Amino acid sequence: MVVGTDGSPGAEEAVRWAARMASQRNLDLVIAHGLEVTVLFYGAGVAGMGEVFDLAQRAAESIVADARRAALAVDSSLTITTETVSETAAAVLVHLSSKARMVVLGRSGIGAVGGMLIGSAVATVVSQAQCPVAVVRDRDGTVPTVGTVVVGVDGSPNSEQAVGVAFEEASLRGVPLTAVHAWSDLTYEGIYGTARLMPPWDAIEPDAMRLLAQRLAGRQEQHPDVEVRRRLVRNNPRKALLEESKHAQLVVVGSRGRGGFKGLLLGSTSQALVRRAQCPVLVVRPEPVT
């Protein structure tokens, strides 16, 4: 389990969440911090480079030490290693993702070096990681730990991978799984722009229910302990899943859906969720092509 930290309150929440996940799954925890040296040196001048680097290094050590203490407060028996590398946070986490079960991130924040705004690594990591990426979002200031696991189902290969991960998460947490299938996102591209198509719901519903049942059947056999709640909604997928996030403890979604193509790294639904959901979001990346 890999978690990134930048010393912000959102990162501290992510560290605690990742520590609980690692503890429950008997996994080691890696706490990673990227020291973006080129940004820190900007404007410092040659004479000031050494001083700025020392300051940044001490700040990084403090950030990582604080994160380690926060993780051990969750479970003092955790095996924890730390990675502080002179690269961007995104580069460090993408590299570590090749051998990780999951990468965990919090909300972007302010770094500890002179109040410097270090920006967000979320979009890059979610788009390029080689394992699922969890973005720990809160609801009214608290990260929810109760509620169902929710998964978006659209029939795409990436969505099927997300369904498998969602079943595992629901089973490990001992909670029901809500599978959401939304069918109002059909659009038509014409010379005058994009128009939304609204086919008769009565004509769509039987096929949609059949598709949803087919996508869940094999996974239900593998996880008979998981209670599954199926939801067909006449709504935009983003809106439907954002609404579900108000009552869930985790939303699982593929990084891109049936409209995805090679150049589209992060679909609009997953983008909306990592920015606006009211619970942690787990984005499942496509399996590498071998």
Q: Share the mean pLDDT of the chain.
A: 81
The pLDDT of residue 72 is 98
Contact (CB, 8 A) for 155 and 211: yes
Return the bridge partners of 189, or none: 194
Ordered by where they begin, the domains of the chain are 2-135 (3.40.50.620), 148-284 (3.40.50.12370)
Local confidence band at 150 (pLDDT 50, 70, 90 cut-offs): very high
125 vs 202, residue with greater confidence: 125
Alpha-carbon span 147 to 178, nearest angstrom: 10
Tokens 């942690």 correspond to what residue? 280
Number of H helices, E strands in the chain: 9, 12
70 vs 186, residue with greater confidence: 70
Alpha-carbon span 113 to 117, nearest angstrom: 9
Task: Please compute the mean of the pLDDT values over residues 168-180 and round it to a whole number.
Answer: 96
Task: Give the pair of three-digit tokens for residue 49.
Answer: 């480079």
CA angle, corner 199, sides to 198 and 201, nearest 5? 105
Q: Which amino acid is at 24?
A: Q
Q: What dihedral do alpha carbons 128, 61, 138, 76 form, nearest 10°?
A: 110
Local confidence band at 206 (pLDDT 50, 70, 90 cut-offs): confident
Residues across the chain: 290
- What contacts 53, CB < 8 A, 6 or more positions away? 37, 40, 41
Local confidence band at 211 (pLDDT 50, 70, 90 cut-offs): confident
Local confidence band at 85 (pLDDT 50, 70, 90 cut-offs): confident
Alpha-carbon span 119 to 40, nearest angstrom: 13
Say if residue 184's pLDDT is above 80.
no
Exposed, middle or buried: residue 140 (CB in 10 Å: 0-12, 13-18, 19+)?
exposed
DSSP tag of 191 = T
Alpha-carbon span 6 to 90, nearest angstrom: 11
Distance of CA 106 to the CA centre of its chain: 9
Task: Give the pair of three-digit tokens for residue 34.
Answer: 């990227």
Local confidence band at 36 (pLDDT 50, 70, 90 cut-offs): low
The pLDDT of residue 57 is 81
Say if residue 265's pLDDT is above 80.
no
Cα 173 to Cα 126, 157, 278: the distances in Å are 23, 25, 18
